[in-house]
Amino acid sequence: MNHLLQHMSWAAYFTGVTVLNIAYYLWIGASFYSDELRSLLNRLNGRENAANELPAALRYQESEADCPASAAAVNSENRQQQEIPSDTDHLTGRLKACIAIASEKPFAPAVLIPQLKKILQEHPALAASAERPAINELIVNECEKTGTALLTEEEVDQWWSV
């Protein structure tokens, strides 16, 4: 038995084991991690430049357009449906449009809340009307439905007087 491996040197043994380990790990990588290896090779070759960037949903975006201006398109559709919209309908249309625009952007209630406050302050006549609680409820429900902010009706009610 002792004479079976005497013709093989330790260097040849370690070379053989190293080659077998490399082949084994290449097979594991190709079988289970092919997508990751492909993207790594693309990055190393310079083919994929956006590998270090965050996905669009996680990037912070400044508000490009103020909600009242971008709500004009939604309000024009509302005006076509109704001949003479009331002030309440006009306000609710603008609020819904502002919240809808915010829902398409990354989660940023700190950007949305000042815009909603500005819209409410542009309608001081409705602050003392009977529709005020309904408008507050509309804002809370729309924000909750779209996932743009977590608000309470009491918090929204305070925006009228600011």
Token code pair at residue 58: 């996680």
HSE, side-chain direction, 13 A CA sphere, residue 48: 12
Does 147 fall in a domain? yes
Which pLDDT score, from 0 to 100, does residue 14 have?
Answer: 95
Domain that holds residue 104: 87-158
Does 150 fall in a domain? yes
Tens-digit pLDDT profile for residues 35-70: 888 888 888 887 655 545 666 666 655 554 555 554
Does 101 fall in a domain? yes
CB atoms inside a 10 Å sphere around CB 93: 20
Does 128 fall in a domain? yes
Does 65 fall in a domain? no
pTM attached to this predicted model:
0.49
Q: How far apart are CA 63 and CA 111, in angstroms?
A: 7
Does 14 fall in a domain? no
Q: pLDDT below 70 — which residues of the chain? A: 1-2, 5, 47-85, 162
Which pLDDT score, from 0 to 100, does residue 83 have?
Answer: 39
Does 118 fall in a domain? yes
Domain count, the chain: 1
